[in-house]
Each structure stands twice: as structure tokens, then as C-alpha cells.
With several copies, the nearest count.
Chain A
Amino acid sequence: MDKPLWEVIVDFINQTGFAHLTWQQAVMIGVSGVLIYLAIKKEYEPLLLLPIAFGMLLANLPLAGLMEGPIMEEGEVKQVGGLLYYLYQGVKLGIFPPLIFLGIGTMTDFGPLLANPKSFFLGAAAQAGIFAAFFLALLLGFTGPEAASIGIIGGADGPTAIYVTSLLAPELLGPIAVAAYSYMALVPIIQPPIMRALTTKAERQIVMEQLRPVSKLEKILFPIAVTLLGALLLPSTASLLGMLMLGNIFRESLVVDRLSKTAQNELMNIVTIFLGVTVGATANAELFLTIGTLKIVGLGLLAFGFGTAGGTLLGKLMCKLSGGKINPLIGSAGVSAVPMAARVSQVVGQKENPNNFLLMHAMGPNVAGVIGSAIAAGVFISLFG
């Protein structure tokens, strides 16, 4: 404190972020601005994309150190870590994505799937996009764990993608999360041309029979059965699938309403804020401004496309096998992106035949796709984890 005033001022200026801002950080701040625009103006999955974008902005402010860990000295904390560092632990330790799945479980009605279990095959076929993108990513030079994380974008399931990436390739969390949520928002633009290209007008006009009602008992037994089968076949999927099904049994049991409500509202919202901001905050300039990010964006788009094609093609096959009772358009809903992809099936179908209501039928493959990509995630985790 014995320095003259002007020196103190110079020191102070040197401590500002302006003096340390790199052009890469400036670019990243610009990118976060674009994402904020997409989230607010274009409403691209704003619940996730807005926190992600703001987290990206915060993480690229020089010297702010919001993602920096604590400085330890002889087992004692000498300087506490940044706010986002602590919140990020929930992602790093694999806690937040399963909790979001808990909430999704309480909001998902598997009734249409139970009324027509064959929908499960469509939900499986649409996961082709995951493995196709994985394969292409390997060819583009990504390592196995990286390729797996990129492939999961094709699952069209944000929390699954974040969960797999945080375990297998945390350095890609930023671009993968952004790609996953952006393409989920773009489903109404990506899917229709592919669906039309792969189906005939006659197929698209098929009207499906009304679904049978599903009893309460079936709906309660379903989450137990899926947890058992899924987690016994693929133990590594237990936390995602288990929480999804715990949420669903909360919903269908009708006896724990207050837990169900909290899991799907407050708990999910709190976790979403923390997850979004901190996933965004992993996207610092060094990791994000690479050619890899461009590859990921491209591969993600391909993954969505292949998934849509896979579902639609199996839909065509099932249409044939069933003697024209199944409209192949519901196959594309198997990518998940609940409930957007099911609505796309509805809209595309209705354009050909204004009296065609596919929404309920498309919800079957749609929710099957969530289970399908959770299982694909389990495959990757058990191979590379």
C-alpha cells in the first residue's frame, strides 16, 4: 500500500478482464450471444439452451475463474473454487442427468406404447443414427469414447447425451450439448424431407386403428419390468433407466402425488438450471474453437438424419408385414425428441390426409426411443467407460 496512486490505478487496470481478453474468448462470447438469440427468439429448446449459452458467456470472461477448482494447501482450502466449479460436480459425478430423467419419467405416459408394443421396434430402429454417427466419427479420427459421445447426439435425448459425454469425453460436453439441443429443436425441419423421400403417398395416407385402453395395473408393472430387464441386460444403464422408471412409477401409482409433482417441477427445474449453466461453462475457447466442434455439428446432423431414416424404413417394413395397417410415418418419431418428433409425424401425415390422426400412434415409438437411447448409452458406457 506504499505505492503511489497512479501505480495502484495501473495495477487495477491490469487486473481487469479487458486487459486479458483473448480474441478466442471474444469469439466465444459472440457464439454465446448467437445461442441466446436462438434460445429466446427462435425458441430452440430454451429451457436448456438459454442456461447453456449464459454459462458459456460466464466461462469465457477472463480472470473470473467461475469454473476453477479450489486451491488446496496441505489439505486445507486456501482459496475456494468458483461457483460454477461446485455446481458442475453434479454433472461430473453423473448425478444431474439421472435426476432429470426422474422428472421426465413422472411426465411420460407409456400408455400408447403399451397399447401397441410393436412400437418398441421402431424406437430401436431409430437408434441406428447413433451407431452410424459413431462409425463416421471413428473414421473422422475421433477416439472410441469421443465417437460414442458424438453418436449419442443421434439419440435426440439431451440428458442421455450429457450423461454419456460427462463420463466418456467431458472435454466435448459443450459442443455436444449445444448440438443435441439445437437439433432437437430443429426436428420439424430436419425430419419431413427424409420422411417424404422414403415413403410413398399411399403409405403416408394410411389411417391407423384406435389404440386399446391400457389398464392401471399394466402401467404400474411396466416400469418395474423395464428396470429389471434393462438393467440386468446392461448394468451400466441402471442409473438412467432406473430413475426414468422410478419417476414413472411415481406417476402411475397415483399414491405419491406430492413426490411426483416435485420431481417433475421444482427438482427438475433446479437441476436443469445448474446442469445447463455448468455444461455451457465447460465450453471454454480452447476446447470449443476447434475443427472438432464443426465435425461434431456435422455428425450430429447426420445422426438425426440416419435415425429418422432408420425409423421410417422399419416403419415401411412393418407396414408391409402388417398388410398396410401401420403408417410408416410414425417410425421417424422413434428418435425420441419427445414430443416434437411425434408431432412431426402427425403434421406430415395430416398433410396427405386431413383426417389422419397419427399423434397417439407416434407417441409409442417416441417414448420407446427414450428407452432405446438409454440402452445405447449403456452399451457405450460398458464398452468404453
Chain B
Amino acid sequence: MNILEILESGTKIMIIGLATVFIALSGIVLTVTLISKAVNYERPNKGKAKTDIKENSNLEIKVAEETSKIETQAEDEELIALITAAVAASLNRSTHNVIVKSVNRITGTGSQWSKAGRYEYISSKL
């Protein structure tokens, strides 16, 4: 190929390439906007609460590494509340600045499989 051919084919590929990227991302923009419309039409106030909480929390202590999901079972919430209080007390801060994100019980509370291992514990509570 001589230099002209290279210039020509290079230009073609540049155009096709950038155009494809723009088309693809435009398609995604369109879809995302539609999804957002659809989702927020039905539930306009969701998601707000979460953000508010986040803004209140200047300090997030992760006592244990694992879970990123805030546990919702009553027992855990009680425990978390207790520990939050304890940590906050030690730190001499008011509780609403401290969030204990999760407390790990025996090998990962979030897991489905670990449930089997916990049955003894469960049964002792029943």
C-alpha cells in the first residue's frame, strides 16, 4: 500500500470507529433515559432516603471486612445498634455520625450456603 491508500483506509476506519462508538453510546444513552423515565414514573421518591443517610454519615467504620449489604434482620439491627452505641460512646460522639455497617457473625451472614452452618444457632433461638 502506498501512503495515499494508507491515508484513505486509515481515515475510513477512523470515521467508522468513532461513529460506532458514538452510535453505541448514544443507543445506551437513549435506553438509559427510557429506563430512568419508566422507573421513576412509577416510583418517584425511591432512592432519596438512602442518599440522605449517606450525607449524614461523616464516618463509616467497617468493623468487619465482608458484607456491603446492611443487614435488615431484627436481631442484627439490634446488635448493630448496640455496637454503634458502644463505639460512639467510646469516641465521645453522637450516634448519628457513626454507622456500623455490619457485624460479621460466623463466616459471612450474607451467604446462602452458610445458613446450613447456622442452624444450631437458629434452633437455639426458636
Question: In the docked arrangement, what's the CA distance between A129 and B18, Å?
Answer: 10
Measured CB to CB, the nearest residue on chain B to A367 is B116
Measured CB to CB, the nearest residue on chain B to A219 is B47
Question: In the docked arrangement, what's the CA distance between A326 and B25, Å?
Answer: 19
Q: Is B16 an interface residue (CB 8 A)?
A: yes
Give B8-24 as 1s and 0s: 1 = Cβ < 8 Å from A's Cβ atoms.
Answer: 11111111111011111
Give A100-126 as 1s and 0s: 1 = Cβ < 8 Å from B's Cβ atoms.
Answer: 000110011100011001101101100
B28–A215 touching, CB < 8 Å: no
> Chain A residues with Cβ under 8 A from B67's Cβ?
257
Q: Number of B residues contacting the other chain (C-beta, 8 Å)?
A: 57
A368–B25 touching, CB < 8 Å: yes
Tell which of B34-42, B73-81, B86-94 binds the partner. Answer: B34-42
Known contacts A108-B116, A117-B32, A357-B126; is A139 also within 8 Å of B10 by CB? yes
A120–B26 touching, CB < 8 Å: yes
B123–A357 touching, CB < 8 Å: yes
B113–A104 touching, CB < 8 Å: yes
Question: In the docked arrangement, what's the CA distance between A108 and B107, Å?
Answer: 12
Cβ distance A255 to chain B, nearest Cβ, rounded Å: 8
A215–B21 touching, CB < 8 Å: no
A residues in contact (CB < 8 Å) with B: 1-2, 5, 8-9, 12, 45-47, 103-104, 107-109, 113-114, 117-118, 120-121, 123-124, 127-128, 130-132, 134-135, 138-139, 144, 147, 213-218, 221-222, 225-226, 229-230, 233-234, 254, 257-258, 260-261, 264-265, 268, 338-339, 342-343, 346, 350, 357, 359-360, 363, 367-368, 371-372, 375-376, 379-380, 383
Q: Nearest 4 pairs between A and B by C-beta?
A: A1-B9, A215-B47, A339-B116, A257-B110
20 of the cross-chain contacts (CB-CB < 8 Å) are A8-B12, A12-B16, A107-B117, A109-B116, A109-B120, A114-B36, A128-B18, A132-B14, A135-B11, A135-B14, A215-B43, A230-B24, A230-B28, A257-B110, A257-B111, A261-B66, A264-B113, A346-B123, A359-B122, A383-B13
- Excluding A217-B46, A367-B116, 18 further A-B contacts by CB distance (< 8 Å) are A1-B12, A47-B113, A107-B113, A114-B32, A117-B33, A131-B17, A132-B14, A138-B6, A138-B10, A139-B6, A222-B32, A229-B24, A258-B113, A265-B107, A359-B122, A360-B119, A375-B24, A383-B16
